């Protein structure tokens, strides 16, 4: 029996943004280890497709729609899930979008969507679900999607970077709050490196300035060429969450490199700078 099966089999997992990308990979893996997976997404069609894949592989899954940018939607989701299942063993606040563009060129609607989905979706996911978890009185897990971008900087990916720095900080404080309150709820910060998903696909940036299409294509090509397989990354993620690790990295060497760079930046209090190889790539 794997550590994931030992900790999670028979429990209920709720995963936001699970209709695609890392969320869908974690959902499939949760189904494989014996969880009942509540696949949630803003798209009912995508959610049902992933749920059907899990059921087709012999697992248990339910599809529900939710717009994580709206706190009331997360309250509704939590109420529905606990009314139907009684408890949630694993909550993965995964839903997020990538936004590319100079800070002053990104339309207000895209800025608001990025902040509301990537930050408020995580915060209000916790706010909506944790009281139910506490009331259930059982051991549970909360995992929030950060990024190696939580420790880095990148021009024209400013909106995304800001949100991931925020998620990392929120998760660190949440971990300490669980300790202080002596609750049996484990907190993990999931830090994907390069994982092969659709996050940099062209249609994902339809609301962005047209001038950023080239940057999105560069990031798409880098991920396609060197990204980690989604299924493999999802297995690593769920295994480390089951081990009660706070730091959950798909590619630890990437995480360590970004953190070391951040440490040096803060220690030296130098002006922000871009690695020369990245500068050459972006300016080519």
Question: CA 232, 237, 238, 240 torsion: positive or negative?
Answer: positive
Q: Is the pLDDT of residue 40 over 90?
A: yes
How much is the average pLDDT of 244-265? 95
Mean model confidence pLDDT for the chain: 91
Catalytically active residues, by annotation: 160
The domain ranges of the chain are 3-283
- Percent over 70 (pLDDT), the chain: 86
| The model's pTM | 0.91
**Strand residues in the chain grouped as ranges (E):** 12-15, 36-41, 60-65, 90-93, 140-145, 185-191, 247-249
Which carries the bigger pLDDT value, residue 207 or residue 189?
189
Rounded average pLDDT over 268-274: 91
| CATH placement of domain 3-283 | 3.40.50.720
| 26 in Cβ contact with 234 (< 8 Å) | yes
Cβ partners under 8 Å of residue 94, min gap 6: 15, 16, 17, 18, 21, 22, 23, 26, 145, 190
Q: Does 120 have pLDDT greater than 70?
A: yes
């Amino acid at each position: 029996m794997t550590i994931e099966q030992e900790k999670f089999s028979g429990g209920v997992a709720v995963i936001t943004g699970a209709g695609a990308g890392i969320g869908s990979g974690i959902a499939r893996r949760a189904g494989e280890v014996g969880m009942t997976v509540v696949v949630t997404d803003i798209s009912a069609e995508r959610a049902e497709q992933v749920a059907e894949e899990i059921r087709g592989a012999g697992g248990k899954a339910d599809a529900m729609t939710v717009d994580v940018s709206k706190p009331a939607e997360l309250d509704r989701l939590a109420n529905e899930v606990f009314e139907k299942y009684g408890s949630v063993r694993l909550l993965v606040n995964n839903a997020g979008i990538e936004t590319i563009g100079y800070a002053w060129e990104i339309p207000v609607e895209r800025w608001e969507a990025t902040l509301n989905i990537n930050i408020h979706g995580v915060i209000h996911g916790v706010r909506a679900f944790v009281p139910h978890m506490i009331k259930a009185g059982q051991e549970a897990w909360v995992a929030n999607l950060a990024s190696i971008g939580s420790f880095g900087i990148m021009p024209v990916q400013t909106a995304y970077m800001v949100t991931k720095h925020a998620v990392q900080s929120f998760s660190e404080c949440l971990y300490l709050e669980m300790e202080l309150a002596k609750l049996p709820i484990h907190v993990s910060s999931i830090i994907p490196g390069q994982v092969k998903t659709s996050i940099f696909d062209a249609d994902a940036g339809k609301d962005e300035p047209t001038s950023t299409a080239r940057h999105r294509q560069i990031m798409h090509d880098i991920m396609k060429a060197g990204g980690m397989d989604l299924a493999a990354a999802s297995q690593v993620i769920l295994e480390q969450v089951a081990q009660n690790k706070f730091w959950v990295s798909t590619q630890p060497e990437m995480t360590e490199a970004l953190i070391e760079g951040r440490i040096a930046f803060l220690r030296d209090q130098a002006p922000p700078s871009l690695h020369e190889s990245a500068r050459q790539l972006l300016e080519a």
